[in-house]
Amino acid sequence: MRKNFKEGYHVFGLHVISEMSLPEVPQINLSNTYADVTIRQVNLEDQWKKVSGKGKSFYIEENLCMFKVTEVCVCLIRNGNEILFTPLPGSVISHVRLYILGSCMGIILMQRRILPLHGSAISIDGKAYAIVGDSGAGKSTLASAFLKRGYKLLSDDVIPVSFSDEGVPMVTPAYPQQKLWQESIDHFGLESREFEPIIDRETKFKVPVGDQFEERQLPLAGIIELTKTDDEQVHIEPIQDLYRFSTLFKHTYRNFIIRRAGLMDWHFNTSTKILPHVDMFHMRRPVSQFTANELVDKVLQAIGKEESVV
């Protein structure tokens, strides 16, 4: 598992050098390049015992976060530039990697004052649109339906939002992979046996997107909050006024860290800079039927794009 910093990667706009192989992420040569983040395997078990309380899985302070995933790993993220991890006995390396690229990198972004939204981001006519929602809302499925129409994916799960020199919110590409449930794979005519299952979820799979990955940083133009409804119809409506702030906070990745890390002022100030630039919509989808294709049409109509592809 240990690589002694032989492998360099580019992910979430950051140069990463890692002792762990990250096959999902594009490799780069970092021999003459400064690394933004280092990933190292160490023994954190004694340190975790000192800071963890009974029943707690996270320890948080300013610019430092530790967490433990039972039977998988212990991780420490600090100063926005370092991830330390300890695989636990019997763990599977692909499961450890899932948390490195998910929770760990999401916390790294937050420590670097880059806002991580929880959702999928797609490219439409040179602009980024974030699809956010609770677990199981259908974010990745809707993003996949956009890919079927010829659009491209910027990110799945963690969406990094930073600012240009002109103060425009920008979405930085993550890496070319989606996570899809078996139901979605079936509807899109894919074969689940071709894909690796996600940790502890045999019916959710890692799906590479290949040349349908958008490698450019794009301005964030819209946020679509996706929820489920017992109604038979798809509904979409603008999110207005102060609800825009609460929606942005609700769908910030690992938002429980914000207050405990002393980042409430930062999050509010970042939100006030983002919101004037984006349209926000709340879209409710029926739970009784597969509506991803209809949702694509509704989103395109709401943002005034109709069927204009990339």
Print pLDDT tens along the chain (310 aa). Answer: 444 556 899 999 999 999 999 999 988 887 666 899 999 999 999 999 999 877 789 999 999 999 999 999 999 999 999 999 999 999 989 889 999 999 999 999 999 999 999 999 999 999 999 999 998 888 988 999 999 999 999 999 899 999 999 999 999 999 998 887 677 776 777 766 666 777 655 677 788 888 899 999 999 999 999 999 888 889 999 999 999 999 999 999 999 999 999 999 999 999 999 999 999 999 999 888 778 889 999 999 999 876 544 4
Looking at residue 310, what is its pLDDT? 44
Looking at residue 309, what is its pLDDT? 47
* Pair 103, 120 in one domain: no
* Pair 147, 226 in one domain: yes
User: Residue 270 sits in a domain of what CATH number?
Assistant: 3.40.50.300
* Pair 121, 135 in one domain: yes
* Pair 195, 276 in one domain: yes
* Pair 171, 247 in one domain: yes
Looking at residue 56, what is its pLDDT? 84
Q: Does some domain include residue 25?
A: yes
Q: Does some domain include residue 150?
A: yes
* Pair 32, 178 in one domain: no
* Pair 105, 245 in one domain: no
Partners of residue 37 on adjacent β-strands? 16
* Pair 186, 157 in one domain: yes
Q: Does some domain include residue 2?
A: no
* Pair 102, 172 in one domain: no
Q: Does some domain include residue 308?
A: no
Give the end of a domain, one of 59, 89, 111. Answer: 111
Torsion of CA 174, 177, 183, 184, to 10 degrees: 70
Looking at residue 287, what is its pLDDT? 85
* Pair 74, 164 in one domain: no
- Stated pTM of the model: 0.91
Q: Does some domain include residue 136?
A: yes
Residue-number span of the structural domain to which 17 is assigned: 7-111
Q: Does some domain include residue 279?
A: yes
* Pair 171, 93 in one domain: no
Please report the DSSP string for the chain in residue order.
Answer: ---TT-EEEEETTEEEEESS--TTS-EE--TTS--SEEEEE---HHHHHHHPPTT--EEEETTEEEEEETTTEEEEEETTTEEEEEEPTT--HHHHHHHIIIIIHHHHHHHTT-EEEEEEEEEETTEEEEEE-STTSSHHHHHHHHHHTT-EEEEEEEEEEEE-TTS-EEEPP--SEEEEEHHHHHHTT--GGGSEEETTEEEEEEEE-GGGB--S-EEEEEEEEEEEESSSS-EEEE--TTHHHHHHHHTBTTTHHHHHTT-HHHHHHHHHHHGGG-EEEEEEEESSS--HHHHHHHHHHHTT-TT---
Positive/negative CA dihedral, 71, 69, 180, 287:
positive
Q: Does some domain include residue 140?
A: yes
Looking at residue 199, what is its pLDDT? 62
Give the end of a domain, one of 87, 111, 135. Answer: 111
Largest CA distance in the chain: 57
Please report the DSSP string for 174-211 in residue order.
Answer: --SEEEEEHHHHHHTT--GGGSEEETTEEEEEEEE-GG
Q: Does some domain include residue 126?
A: yes
Looking at residue 137, what is its pLDDT? 84
* Pair 153, 263 in one domain: yes
Number of domains in the chain: 2
Give the end of a domain, one of 95, 111, 127. Answer: 111
Looking at residue 267, what is its pLDDT? 98
